[in-house]
Amino acid sequence: MTAHSRISEVLTKLKNNLRSIIRIFFLILIFTLWSINKIEVWLFILLAGLLITPFMGRVYCGWICPIFTSIDIFSPIIKEKKLQKYNKYFQKMVFKVVIFMMFLVVFFLTKKLDLAVPFFILLIPIGLLIAVLFGSSQWHHICPFGIIFSLPARFATKGYNLISRDCSKCGLCVNKCANSCLILGKNRPLYFGREHCLSCGKCKDSCPQNNISFGKLPLKQSRGGTAL
């Protein structure tokens, strides 16, 4: 192993540990806010995440979101997706709009009725249930906040990208992608769907060639997707 490989491996471990610490912190924070009746503070965290999305991508989704963190924690026991055959419906815009409107109704009902379990907390078990039945990527496609964040994410100036065109097309990054935003065709280059990228770094960590990095995107490649 070369010195460069060792340094890269150490940096990857540090980055993974840092992300895990940050995610657990925010998971504990949202339950703490709920316990002290300050859950409204989470709205400011959401707003901050939304504001940085055009510059850094969906960092909120990959580093802060308690739903994604919970899904990852329980992922070792989420093996079989019972209703995977229905996943095609999650890609339809009409279905997404209907689900989004339903979430809006639930949000206003929790506020109007002053329910004991607030909307932000209620979404965690819902997200876990969807992940168990259909797979985690299907939850990310219908998550109400994910849908909102995907709009400015199309214009993100930073994100994950190939370092060089020398890609072996092994497909490991595609399999690890939490939101199925990577597409690899036989006669096509690797494609990054920017609006769906959660900035979680799983693709980078899985690349055996260390050919994926987070950085500035060329202007023409930062509008919706990247293909090299």
Is the domain spanning 158-227 CATH 3.40.50.12280? The answer is no
| The pLDDT of residue 52 is above 60 | yes
For residue 98, give the 3-state DSSP assignment: helix
Q: In degrees rounded to 5, what are phi and psi of residue 111?
A: -75, -45
Quick one: average pLDDT of 157-165?
85
**Across 87-91, 175-179, 222-226, least confident range:** 222-226
Any bridge partners for residue 17, and if so which? none
pLDDT band of 12, cuts 50, 70, 90: low
Mention every residue, 6+ apart, whose C-beta is less than 8 A from residue 9: 1
d(CA 210, CA 52): 26
Q: Are 58 and 106 in contact (CB under 8 A)?
A: no
The residue ranges of every structural domain in the chain are 3-152, 158-227
Instruction: Supply the pTM of this predicted model.
Output: 0.81
Displacement of CA 173 from its chain's centroid (Å): 14
Phi, then psi, of 174 in degrees rounded to 5: -65, -40
71-91 pLDDT tens trace: 999 887 766 566 666 667 677
